[in-house]
Amino acid sequence: MALPTRELSDDERLDWLRLARTDSVGPITFRGLIGRFGTARAALEALPEMARRGGRQRGLTPASLADAERETAAVAALGGRMVALCEPDYPEPLAAIEDAPPVLSVLGARDLMSRRSVAIVGARNASGNGRRIAAKLARDLGAAGLTVVSGLARGIDAAAHDGALESGTVAVVAGGIDVVYPRENEGLHRRIAEQGVILAECAFGIQPQARHFPRRNRIISGLSIATIVVEAAPRSGSLITARMANEQGREVFAVPGSPLDPRAQGCNALIRKGAILVQSAEDVLDGLSPMLRTLEPARPAGFETPKTFDETAPTDGAAAQSQVLECLSPTPTPVDEVLRDCQLSAPMVFAILLELELAGRIERHPGNRVTLT
């Protein structure tokens, strides 16, 4: 059951926002719920009973309509709006990833998101040369008609946004759309809100915390046909973005540097692992040419509900749930494996997993895998 792309009514969008803001409802569960119940409203109504069946101790109360209205109004007051995953304004490449945010807060020139985008990310403690390279890549790729996506961090991110300010840039922030972080990027944040796009998955007003950054990074890579890394230390956040781009089937580029420069180690390692070495925007355009030759971007899967969630199924009793729980551990287990190991129908397993997740007892991971929490 694939939901067609369509503009939601304001009431429907509020339902989507409530469901997205409800405790234990991650992006993958969100898709499962819409797939199972058809609408966010119906899912909201079914949630408390499902969570109870999943074994949740304290009741699961969906986010309130009042909160959803308040958040929507606050975003609107800044000049922004909420965009749901099924709506035409939602960026197509992002909709194609498995754990796409169900709802985004968006501020600024939303039409920029309909163009093809590339991400430029890198070290916060970048060198002057690294920042110069990032700004020039951004400027040149912007001149070639691409939107430049980054994370509005210090260093490489800021330089990339700055280079693409005229041509069009999208900043994906880790906290709420109104929260300027880091402080020193206040001016840039304001200029991007005026000339480009600021985009957030987190609720309005939320201060970014450590756990938000990797989740934010999947949006940066997910928005983009390619991610370019400019200066990155080993085990840095930029390498997480590169890994996610790779998992999302997007191209990864890296700017090399001297082996004696610690900030080049991450990029050099990426190149050794297969990222394309980049010296200039031309190298990026060369690497992307098969993709760029397609004039009209093919509408990707978009909001296509995974087939596995298509059927509704009642779950009956503790025995089946125990069977599923026995298959799981804190190490990610593919749902396919659970299906193979349980003597239960697929719809039954999916329903039980959904309930367990709403009960906060399991967690979803990309690649259709789950862990016990």
Say how far apart CA 28 and CA 309 lie, in whole Å: 11
| Residue 163 in the binding site for a copy of itself (CB under 8 A) | no
- Smaller CB separation from a copy of itself, 59 or 234: 234
Contact (Cβ atoms closer than 8 angstroms) between residue 312 and residue 36? yes
* The only residue of 20, 95, 133, 198 in contact with a copy of itself, by rule CB under 8 A: 133
By the 10 Å C-beta count (0-12 exposed, 13-18 middle, 19+ buried), 337 is classed as middle
Only one residue has tokens 């190149």, namely 271
| Residue 280 in the binding site for a copy of itself (CB under 8 A) | yes
| Residue 122 in the binding site for a copy of itself (CB under 8 A) | no
* Positions in 308-337 near a copy of itself (CB under 8 A): none
**Interface stretch with a copy of itself, choices 7-15, 58-66, 275-283, 338-346 (CB under 8 A):** 275-283
DSSP code, position 200: E
How far apart are CB 267 and a copy of itself at their closest, in Å? Answer: 8
CB atoms within 10 A of CB 274: 9
| Residue 125 in the binding site for a copy of itself (CB under 8 A) | no
* 3 state SS of 173: strand
- Smaller CB separation from a copy of itself, 214 or 256: 256
How far apart are CB 272 and a copy of itself at their closest, in Å? Answer: 5
- Smaller CB separation from a copy of itself, 278 or 320: 278
* Positions in 204-263 near a copy of itself (CB under 8 A): 255-261
| Residue 278 in the binding site for a copy of itself (CB under 8 A) | yes
* The only residue of 22, 72, 268, 315 in contact with a copy of itself, by rule CB under 8 A: 268
CA distances from 267 to 119, 156, 230 (A): 15, 13, 7
CB contact set of 372 (below 8 Å; sequence gap of 6+): 325, 328, 329, 330, 361, 362
Length of the chain: 373
**Interface stretch with a copy of itself, choices 164-172, 186-194, 278-286, 296-304 (CB under 8 A):** 278-286
- φ/ψ of 261, rounded to 5, equals -100, 115
CB contact set of 281 (below 8 Å; sequence gap of 6+): 136, 137, 140, 141, 143, 144
Chain positions contacting a copy of itself, by CB under 8 A: 129, 132-133, 255-261, 264-265, 268, 271-272, 276-280, 283
